[in-house]
A and B are shown apart, each in its own frame.
Chain A
Amino acid sequence: MEEQQEVEQFMVPIGPQHPALKEPGHFLITVDGEIVTNAVVRLGYAHRGIEKATEERNWVRNLYLLERICGICSHIHATAYCLGLERLAEVEAPPRAQAIRVLVAELERIHSHMLWLGVAAHEAGFDSLFMYSWRDRETVMDLLENLTGNRVNYSANVLGGVKCDIDIVQADTIFMALEFLQERTRHYLDVVTSDAMFLQRTRGIGVMTRLQAEVLGVVGPTARASGVHRDIRAEAPYSAYPSYPVRVVCEEKGDLEARFVVRINELFESYRIIRLILEDLPPGELREKMPRRIREGETVSRVEAPRGELFYFIKSNGTDKPERIKVRTPTICNMMSVVKLAIGHQLADVPMILAGIDPCFSCNDRMIILERSHAKQEVWSWERLRQHGIEYYHGNHS
């Protein structure tokens, strides 16, 4: 009997709407039994057209629009925008404002990493870690609310400085909360490095070597877990970081466990920096006057978001509105590592590998390339774009 020569591939489509995904994204995973042989990712389902929208608003209103790119790391987006714009306008925010910006950014990093710890534990089926880490995250959310007035989208920044000041009572509250958080973080570090059941889901899973990390161009804690010493806070210190130097936290193993350890150790580093700032907060003004029209020019602003390097390109044409703002968020750099690392692993490990980069889908959906096969560039009219959409979906669904 003649054997069947061609074995049909079995493909598992996940998303864009799927109970396991918190945000929309499409993954097409080819499997051989339980082992992943290929993976394709398709993004763009949460594209909101924010970059185009910035061109219609003045510089001040854009601050709040850009802050809403990410619901978790909102402050760092506003900081990147403010730093770029202040450089363009040749205005320097006062030292006290710079220190408060860094303080809020570090508090935000704590809340982001604790949120991630919970989400990743939940993906691994470790729901008690998820719930207790989120309970402790409330401590830092309360601190942010006390400091700025909001739990998320704090609006701590204003062009040329910050809105909120810190008094002794608030500083004491932060010191006390940090004591509690430090003790809890030690416990979580112990849990993720010693729990037998949890280690089966993390140790040796999704290993990314240092070379792979450099070739794939991953950023942030994902890269640092593979031994890549890359942190914008230390490489190109911005805002008040020159006064409060950051120690880069690295791990060599490159597996999921290393990503847990790096992020948890970064929490200790954040506690240290917050204490340094509170002990040595420079006196002075909180705001510098900003012009309404920004002189013609362009600039680049890089900051270290909780997920990695965040990049802003700002171009001004001399009016009160931007000519172009381009944002590149860390998730887009890290996303390709997921499809590479998933190959050879069990299908059940894919959600953990995806959670390992701390993905934020809405953040990274900036632009959709419609024709990848053609290298030439052209501008499409609205009618043509609409026609393309109709034909594309008609072709796919008929």
Chain B
Amino acid sequence: MRFATMLSDVLPSLFKSPMTEMYPFERKEPPVHLRTLPSWKLEDCTGCGLCAMDCPSQAIEMIVLDKKAKRFVMCFHVDRCTFCAQCIYSCRQGCLEMTPENWELATLNKNALTLYYGDRVDVEEVLATAASSKDAQTTAG
């Protein structure tokens, strides 16, 4: 039977400086296996859509414009992603990758959280189609 058994921890802490990390002024190195934004190699993609099918949070949309001409656009919703990396393991061509860089994803603009990967012309076409369907909806509403 003893009293104040945690005193040996508490007393030395009185003379220590606070442990709070001064983020964002001091930045730590991200962990080696940290999963962040995926990168996509269009040239290897076959547009099979397995990544979208296996995504548990439906963060990936594979938009196939022309399968024969390999015109694919990948729409990636950053705000839905749980960073489980299943898409990387589902991809048979190995065209997806997650690296520890770009982990600071906070933004004040929600539109910045929808990313379009693909050829510039194809992405513009997808965006134009999306904008026109939105206009049609607004008119109808």
Judge whether B6 is part of the interface by a CB distance below 8 angstroms: yes
B89 contacts A158, C-beta separation under 8 Å: yes
A194 contacts B1, C-beta separation under 8 Å: yes
B85 contacts A195, C-beta separation under 8 Å: no
CB within 8 Å for A155 and B85 given contacts A64-B56, A145-B31: yes
**Cβ contacts B7-41/A at 8 Å (1 or 0 each):** 00110000000000000000000011111000000
B55 contacts A194, C-beta separation under 8 Å: no
Judge whether A389 is part of the interface by a CB distance below 8 angstroms: no
Query: A356 → chain B, closest Cβ, in Å?
Result: 20
Task: Identify which of A94-102, A146-154, A254-262, A295-303 touches chain B.
Answer: A146-154
CB within 8 Å for A132 and B5 given contacts A64-B84, A149-B83, A155-B85: no
Query: B31 → chain A, closest Cβ, in Å?
Result: 5
B33 contacts A129, C-beta separation under 8 Å: no
List chain A residues, Cβ under 8 A from B32.
146, 170
Judge whether A243 is part of the interface by a CB distance below 8 angstroms: no
How many chain A residues touch the partner (CB < 8 A)?
33
Query: A80 → chain B, closest Cβ, in Å?
Result: 17
Q: Is the interface of A mostly helix, strand, loop or mixed?
A: helix
Judge whether A287 is part of the interface by a CB distance below 8 angstroms: yes
The contact of B56 among A61, A132, A191, A287, by CB within 8 Å, is A61
How many chain B residues touch the partner (CB < 8 A)?
24
B55 contacts A61, C-beta separation under 8 Å: yes
Which 5 A-B residue pairings sit nearest by Cβ, starting from the closest? Answer: A64-B56, A149-B33, A155-B84, A128-B6, A195-B5
List chain B residues, Cβ under 8 A from A194.
1-2, 5
Query: B4 → chain A, closest Cβ, in Å?
Result: 8
List chain A residues, Cβ under 8 A from B82.
64, 153, 155
A61 to B34, CA, bound (A): 21
B56 contacts A129, C-beta separation under 8 Å: no
Judge whether A275 is part of the interface by a CB distance below 8 angstroms: no
A196 contacts B85, C-beta separation under 8 Å: no
Known: A60-B54, A187-B9. 5 other contacts (CB 8 A): A64-B84, A129-B6, A146-B33, A149-B33, A195-B6
B89 contacts A287, C-beta separation under 8 Å: yes
The contact of B1 among A153, A164, A199, by CB within 8 Å, is A199
Query: B30 → chain A, closest Cβ, in Å?
Result: 9
List chain A residues, Cβ under 8 A from B10.
128
